[in-house]
């Protein structure tokens, strides 16, 4: 017995199909306005309407401009970077001896590595390292011995020449006192000498304490050099194994990126170190040749001073030139001093326009403004040491950044707004 009787619904093709679509309130999110249809008893979908609610406030509607939120985000990031850099500088200052030793070890390694690699083709690498280190030690010892012997042999005649030259300078100042904007008399010079002698007598205790601290500094210098030699031996002998061990401590996903960035930094640092040593040796040899031709006493020590000054960018060469000119002025007169200044200035031009582009190439491509700012900042932070290490550190940091960043397409010219500001607006038409 059937309880339900099927109902036949006739097909009516002339009636249009009806499509039911949900009604969404535009004031509320779509995810809350629509709900999945629930099946009815007849199997047909039923659309439910959600009652309208109060509109929610938009995100960031706190009356803060978007540019201010962006600037705030950049501000705290910059503060975080400055804090990390300050922490690194503070920690480095606390272990300055270790930092200097490692820096010198990297310099020794970069300079001697090509020679060690050449010897390692036929000899064991430890023996090649020992030969390279011993050769470098003989070169430095011979240079120091030559300077000391030249100073000892010329000391007596140099004292006489300095006395005569000082007298000539005082006579010239006394004769030309009417033409000069300032007046210097022998009585004034004598008063200055007496004042200096009295200052030494009054501050003898401070001078003695400074001398003792200087002895401690000499001990620290030799300690740093010994530690640098010890580290450079291992860097030259087992440098690749040490670097592989370091990479193994990193996650595998970042090893290749760290290796590429470190390779770019080492390429820049080694190129700078080797290029600076080659340029310094060339400058010292040329300066010694010019001073010897002009007959300036202490030509060898002054050439070594020029060699050392080449390691300090921008300021090292002018200081060495000024000292050489003073020696030439006191020993041989004004004309000789001028010739010495012209000769060392020509050496500087040869270095800047020919030698540096030829030796360093594109390994260290820093703008002169960046070099000047780096040297100034390094001098303010760590004195002469900071002036020496500032440029290679900045060059290495820039090389690593250039390796890791993603470059956008370069501009062929500044944008129009920048050209207008700089006063280079092109003519119409």
Q: Please check whether residue 357 lies inside any domain of the structure.
A: yes
Mean pLDDT highest for which of 11-20, 248-257, 339-348, 419-428? 248-257
Q: What is the pLDDT of residues 370-402, one digit of tens each?
A: 877 888 888 887 777 787 888 888 888 888 888
Tell me the pLDDT band of 421, cut-offs 50, 70 and 90: very low
pLDDT value at 312 more than 80? no
Of the two residues 35 and 89, the one the predictor is more confident about is 89
How large a percentage of the chain has pLDDT more than 70?
65
Give me the pLDDT at residue 376, please: 83
The per-residue pLDDT for 227 is 92
Q: Residue 382 half-sphere exposure, CB side, CA atoms within 13 Å?
A: 19
> C-alpha dihedral over 119, 112, 281, 227, to 10 degrees?
-140
pLDDT digits (tens, 9 = 90+) for 167-177: 666 676 666 66
State the average pLDDT for the chain: 75
**What pLDDT does residue 236 have?**
92
What is the DSSP annotation of 296-356? -SSHHHHHHHHHHHTTSTTTHHHHHHHHHHHHHHHHH-HHHHHHHHHHHHHHHHHIIIIIH
Determine the Cα–Cα distance for residues 329 and 320; give it in Å rounded to an integer. 14
Residue 245 is predicted with a pLDDT of: 92
Which pLDDT belongs to residue 36? Answer: 53
In the chain, the number of structural domains is 1
- Cβ atoms 313, 391 nearer than 8 A: yes
Summarize pLDDT for 158-204 with one digit per residue, the tens. 666 666 666 666 676 666 666 666 666 666 767 776 777 777 667 66
Cα–chain center distance at 395: 4
Residue 301 lies in a domain: yes
Confidence of residue 86 (pLDDT cuts 50, 70, 90): confident
Helix ranges (H only) for 27-95 are 30-33, 66-94
In this predicted structure, what is the pLDDT of residue 109? 93
Given this model, what pLDDT does residue 22 score? 53
Within-domain flag for 63: no
User: Would residue 283 count as lying in a domain?
Assistant: yes
Q: What pLDDT is recorded for position 105?
A: 92
Residue 355: which domain range?
254-406
pLDDT of residue 422: 46
Please report how many Cα atoms fall inside a 13 Å half-sphere around the Cα of residue 234, on the Cβ side.
Answer: 8
Q: Which phi and psi angles does 43 have, rounded to 5°?
A: 85, 5
For residue 129, name the pLDDT band (cuts at 50, 70, 90): very high
- 315-335: per-residue pLDDT in tens? 777 788 788 887 887 777 778
Number of neighbours of residue 328 by Cβ within 10 angstroms: 27
Mean pLDDT of the region 92-118: 88
Nearest to 240 by CA among 413, 104, 122, 116: 116
Q: Angle, to 10 degrees, between the axis of helix 334-350 and the axis of helix 316-332?
A: 160
| DSSP single-letter state for residue 52 | P
Using an 8 Å Cβ cutoff, are 297 and 154 in contact?
yes
Q: Residue 408's pLDDT band (boundaries 50, 70, 90)?
A: low
| pLDDT given for residue 12 in this prediction | 56
pLDDT given at position 139 = 86
Would 361 be classed as within a structural domain? yes
Residue 287 belongs to a domain: yes
Q: Is residue 126 part of a domain?
A: no
Is the per-residue pLDDT at 278 higher than 50?
Answer: yes
- pTM score above 0.85: no
304 within a domain of the structure (yes/no):
yes
Contact between residue 84 and residue 370 where contact means Cβ atoms under 8 Å apart: no
Please give the pLDDT value at position 229. 92
């Amino acid at each position: 017995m059937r309880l339900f009787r099927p109902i036949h619904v006739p097909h009516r093709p002339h009636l249009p199909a009806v499509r039911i679509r949900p009604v969404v309130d535009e004031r509320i999110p779509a995810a809350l306005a629509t709900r999945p249809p629930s099946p009815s008893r007849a199997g047909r979908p039923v659309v439910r309407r959600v009652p309208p609610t109060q509109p929610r406030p938009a995100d960031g509607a706190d009356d803060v401009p978007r540019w201010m939120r962006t600037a705030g985000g950049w501000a705290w990031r910059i503060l975080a970077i400055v804090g990390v850099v300050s922490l690194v500088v503070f920690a480095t200052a606390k272990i300055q001896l270790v930092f200097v030793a490692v820096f010198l070890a990297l310099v020794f390694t970069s300079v001697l590595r090509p020679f060690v690699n050449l010897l390692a083709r036929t000899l064991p690498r430890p023996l090649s390292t020992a030969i390279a280190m011993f050769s470098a030690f003989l070169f430095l010892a011979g240079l120091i011995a030559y300077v000391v012997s030249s100073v000892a042999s010329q000391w007596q005649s140099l004292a006489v020449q300095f006395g005569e030259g000082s007298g000539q300078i005082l006579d010239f100042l006394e004769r030309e006192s009417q033409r000069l904007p300032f007046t210097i008399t022998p009585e004034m010079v004598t008063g200055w000498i007496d004042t200096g002698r009295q200052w030494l007598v009054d501050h003898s205790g401070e001078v003695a304490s400074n001398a003792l601290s200087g002895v401690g500094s000499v001990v620290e210098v030799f300690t740093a050099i010994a530690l640098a030699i010890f580290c450079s031996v291992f860097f030259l002998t087992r440098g690749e194994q040490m670097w592989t061990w370091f990479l193994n401590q990193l996650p595998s996903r970042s090893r290749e990126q760290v290796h590429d960035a470190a390779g770019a930094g080492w390429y820049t640092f080694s190129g700078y170190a080797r290029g600076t040593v080659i340029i310094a040796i060339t400058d010292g040899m040329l300066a010694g040749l010019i001073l010897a031709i002009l007959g300036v006493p202490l030509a060898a020590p002054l050439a070594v001073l020029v060699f050392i000054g080449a390691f300090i960018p921008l300021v090292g060469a002018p200081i060495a030139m000024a000292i050489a000119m003073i020696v030439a002025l006191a020993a041989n007169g004004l004309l000789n001093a001028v010739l010495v200044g012209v000769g060392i200035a020509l050496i500087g031009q040869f270095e800047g326009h020919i030698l540096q582009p030829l030796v360093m190439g594109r390994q260290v491509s820093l703008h002169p403004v960046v070099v000047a700012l780096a040297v100034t900042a390094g001098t303010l932070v760590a004195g002469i040491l900071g002036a020496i290490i500032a440029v290679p550190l900045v060059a290495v940091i820039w090389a690593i950044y250039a390796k890791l960043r993603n470059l956008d397409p370069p501009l062929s010219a500044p944008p129009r707004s920048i050209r207008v500001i700089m006063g280079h607006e092109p003519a119409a038409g």
